[in-house]
């Protein structure tokens, strides 16, 4: 079965070449899937896409006209997919629901530690032979209250790590986790989580209900100097509202591994180009902001899981069976 792999990097090729079944013939494309690049999938039976590829109704209809019957997402989130259109067109959609949640959880905690203890600043200082401690004051994580919005696999993995630091856990989710309760976490309304948390970390999917859940109103109800971490989806945050929160010192620390308009930025080397996203450039001017380029998932273990599960999803389609990872079947 021939599969067009969009947004393909060398690490994707390495992963599939090592773990994929030989019956799958991958055609690697370094471009994102958009209405303009759909035609590159001509002659393929299925496509494989990542987080910033576009799967709106227009693109799905074009794929259907090319005879594409299967879309394999090599990610957990599917906010970029028009599920209703896929069902109407009879296009099967499958995802990777869990690929090393510890990878994202560990990156989350790494961002917390880096921002708090200003490790990025200390690294640069020492390289300049500056060993002064002024401006590097941090705080103990022990005893601090961390608000986790979303307690699925990644949120739970993050909770386990933070409990090891001695943090108090306030949680919010539509589904309660008994494991969270066993860890000593408490489920509270969002308003209470915002008001009581020293650190807030987002681990929920992007849906119409969660889009811009971090906005002027919610930021205003948070503690002064709160630390905000987002390793989920960029559009959970209203970036302009966050910039206002940084300027008025309501937000004391901001860690982002995702960004609302990241599709034209992340996963590419733009070091020799001018970035004309004024909002993103404004974020980079704050000394208390740490941004990584959608890196949280990026571990050997996670890439192995992604390539294996994605291959299984494609093989299940080829054999007209199911894996349980289908969003549309």
Active site positions, annotated: 233, 262, 294
How far lies 300's CA from each of 12, 15, 291, in Å?
11, 9, 21
Cβ burial of 131 (10 Å; 0-12, 13-18, 19+) is exposed
Bridge partners for 172 per DSSP? 149
Closest CA relative to residue 49, chosen from 294, 298, 268, 314: 314
The tokens for 322 are 């199911």
DSSP H helical segments within the chain, as ranges? 10-19, 57-65, 83-89, 101-117, 119-127, 153-164, 178-182, 190-196, 216-220, 239-247, 278-283, 300-318
Helix, strand, coil content of the chain in percent (nearest 5): 40, 15, 45
Distance CA 329, CA 324 (A): 10
Longest dimension (CA), the chain: 64
Q: Give the HSE-up count for residue 18: Cα atoms under 13 Å, Cβ half-sphere.
A: 13
């Amino acid at each position: 079965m021939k599969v067009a792999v969009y947004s393909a990097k060398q690490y994707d090729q390495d992963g599939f070449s090592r773990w994929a079944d030989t019956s799958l013939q991958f055609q690697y494309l370094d471009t994102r899937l958009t209405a303009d690049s759909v035609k590159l999938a001509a002659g393929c039976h299925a496509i494989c896409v990542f987080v910033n590829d576009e799967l709106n109704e227009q693109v799905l209809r074009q794929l259907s006209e090319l005879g594409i019957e299967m879309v394999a997402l090599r990610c957990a989130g599917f906010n970029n997919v028009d599920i209703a259109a896929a069902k109407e067109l009879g296009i099967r959609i499958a995802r990777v629901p869990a690929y090393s949640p510890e990878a994202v959880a560990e990156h989350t905690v790494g961002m917390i530690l880096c921002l708090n203890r200003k490790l990025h600043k200390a690294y640069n200082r020492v390289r300049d032979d500056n060993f002064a401690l002024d401006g590097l004051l941090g705080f103990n994580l022990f005893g601090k209250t961390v608000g986790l919005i979303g307690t699925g696999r990644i949120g739970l993995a993050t909770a386990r790590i933070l409990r090891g630091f001695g943090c108090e856990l306030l949680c919010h989710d539509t589904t309660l986790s008994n494991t969270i309760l066993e860890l000593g976490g408490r489920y509270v309304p969002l308003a209470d989580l915002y008001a009581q948390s020293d650190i807030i970390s987002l681990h929920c999917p992007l849906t119409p209900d969660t889009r811009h859940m971090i906005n002027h109103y919610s930021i205003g109800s948070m503690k002064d100097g709160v630390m905000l971490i987002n390793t989920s989806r960029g559009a959970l945050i209203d970036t302009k509202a966050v910039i206002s929160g940084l300027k008025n010192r309501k937000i004391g620390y901001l860690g982002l591994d995702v960004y609302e308009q990241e599709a034209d930025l992340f996963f590419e080397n733009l070091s020799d180009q001018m970035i004309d996203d004024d909002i993103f450039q404004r974020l980079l001017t704050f000394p208390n902001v740490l941004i990584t380029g959608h890196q949280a998932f990026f571990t050997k273990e996670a890439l192995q899981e992604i390539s294996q599960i994605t291959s299984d999803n494609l093989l299940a389609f080829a054999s007209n069976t199911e894996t349980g990872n289908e969003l549309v079947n």
